[in-house]
Amino acid sequence: MEGINVAVNKTIRRIGVLTGGGDCPGLNAVIRAVVKTAIREYRLTVVGFENGFGGLIQNRARDLTEKDVVGILPRGGTILGTTNRDNPFHYPMIINGQKVFKDVSDRVVENINIHNIDAMIIIGGDGSLSIGKELFEEKGLPVVGVPKTIDNDLSATDQTFGFDTALNTATEAIDKLHTTAESHHRIIVLEVMGRYAGWIALEAGLAGGADVILIPEIPFSMENVIKKITDRQEQGKKFSIVVVAEGAKPVGGEMVVQRRVEDSFDPVRLGGIGNVVSYQIEEETGMESRTTVLGHLQRGGTPTAFDRILATRYGTGAVNLVMAGKFGEMVCLRTPNIESVPLADAVGEQRLVPVDGDLIRAAKQIGISFGD
C-alpha cells in the first residue's frame, strides 16, 4: 500500500544500469529518473552499460551524469542502446569456425567489480529480467529489475510502460484507415504486435471502432469473420475494419488457412496472419481488402504522458529499491502505487487477455466479433 519503504543503505555508492530486449517508448524516461534520483536524492554515481547485456559482457560502459539525460524524457529509444541477443549464460561464440554457446556470466561479475558497482538496475522484458534473476540467484549480484514490454503481458504489474504509446499508435492508424475504408467501401485489415497476448489488438480495436478483433487468446474461424462482414453489408455498412494480433490463430492452428489458400498462396508467401486473413476475405466476399502491417512503428515515437510518468516512477522506484537493499526484486504498478515483487515470482508468468473478462464482454456487447 505504501509504496517502496526506503531505509537508506549507507554502503551503496555507485549503481549500474542497462536496457535490454526490444525497443520500447519510455526507456529514456526510466534512465533519466534513475540518474536524477541517484544523484539528487542519494548522491550516488551511475554507470550505463551499452547495448543490453552485451555491454556488461564486453565492458562497454560510461558514466551517466545529469547532463547526459537532459532532453531525453520525450524521446523514444534508449541512449544506452539495446539488443535482444547477448545472454551471458548462453553467449554465442565462434570457436574453431563453429558457433557454440558459452556461459560467460563470470565476465559480468568481473566487469561489475571493475566498475565498483554496488547494485545493478536492469530494465527489460521477460527475457532480460530472467537473466537478471539468474545473475541474482546464481552469481549473487545485487540486481533490481524494471519491467518493460509494449505487449503489456507481464503478470506481476498492472501495466508496463510502452504499451500506452503502442496502443495510441495503433489507434491512430485505425483512425486513418477508417476514413479510407468508409470512402472506398473496403475491408481494411490491420496487423498489430502481440505474439502471445492480444492486448494491443483488443484495446486498439476497441478504441478505433473495429468490427472484428482477432487475438491469440481466442482461436477464430474464418466463417465467423466472414459472417460478421457480410452481416454488416446487409445492414448497409459497406466497409469493415479487422484488427489482427500477429499471434492470432484460427481454430485448429494454421491448417484451415493452408487448405483455403492451397494452390497459389501459402501463409509464408503471403506474409503474416494479416495478409492471410485479408486474402481469404477477398476470396469469399468478393470485396476489396487491404492490409497494413504496422511493425516497428509500434516501438517508436515519443512516449505518451502515461508512459512517461510510469517510466519515471519506475526509475525512481528502482533506485529506492536499491537503497532499501531489496535485491532480486523488480518495481511494479499496483494502481495507484509503485510497489515491488520478487523477480522469481514475476518472470515467466504471462498476463494474457482474460477471455471471460470485463473488456471482452464490453466489446461483445457493442457488437465486436472475435471470430469465435
CB 269 within 8 A of CB 214: no
C-alpha cell at 287: 470485396
Query: Catalytic: 164?
Result: no
- Cα–Cα separations (whole angstroms), residue 246 to 89, 223, 253, 257, 294: 30, 19, 14, 15, 10
298 annotated as a binding-site residue: yes
290 annotated as a binding-site residue: yes
Nearest to 170 by CA among 156, 152, 183, 196: 152
Out of 23, 151, 164, 211, pick the active-site residue.
Answer: 151
| Member of 14, 139, 178, 249 binding its own copies (CB under 8 A) | 178
127 annotated as a binding-site residue: yes
Residues that contact its own copies, how many (by CB under 8 A): 85
Cβ closer to its own copies: 149 or 304?
Answer: 304
* Interface with its own copies, residue 110, by CB under 8 A: no
Q: Nearest approach, Cβ of 139 to its own copies (angstroms)?
A: 27
* Residue range at the interface with its own copies (CB under 8 A); choices 55-63, 119-127, 128-136, 357-365: 357-365
DSSP string, 18-37: EE-SS--TTHHHHHHHHHHI
| Member of 267, 271, 325, 342 binding its own copies (CB under 8 A) | 271
- Within positions 317 to 346, which residues make up the interface with its own copies, using CB under 8 A? 317, 319-320, 335-338
- Within positions 50 to 109, which residues make up the interface with its own copies, using CB under 8 A? 51, 71, 73-78, 81-83
232 annotated as a binding-site residue: no
Query: Omega into 74 within 30° of 0, i.e. cis?
Result: no
CB 360 within 8 A of CB 353: yes
* Interface with its own copies, residue 251, by CB under 8 A: no
Q: Nearest approach, Cβ of 234 to its own copies (angstroms)?
A: 14
Distance CA 313, CA 304 (A): 14
CB-based burial, 43-70: b 16+ in 10 Å, e otherwise: ebbbbbbbbbbbbbbeeebeebeeebbe
Residue type, 133: K
Q: Nearest approach, Cβ of 88 to its own copies (angstroms)?
A: 19
299 annotated as a binding-site residue: yes
Which residues are part of the catalytic machinery? Answer: 151
Binding residues, by number, are: 22, 85-86, 125-128, 149-151, 186, 193-195, 246, 290, 296-299
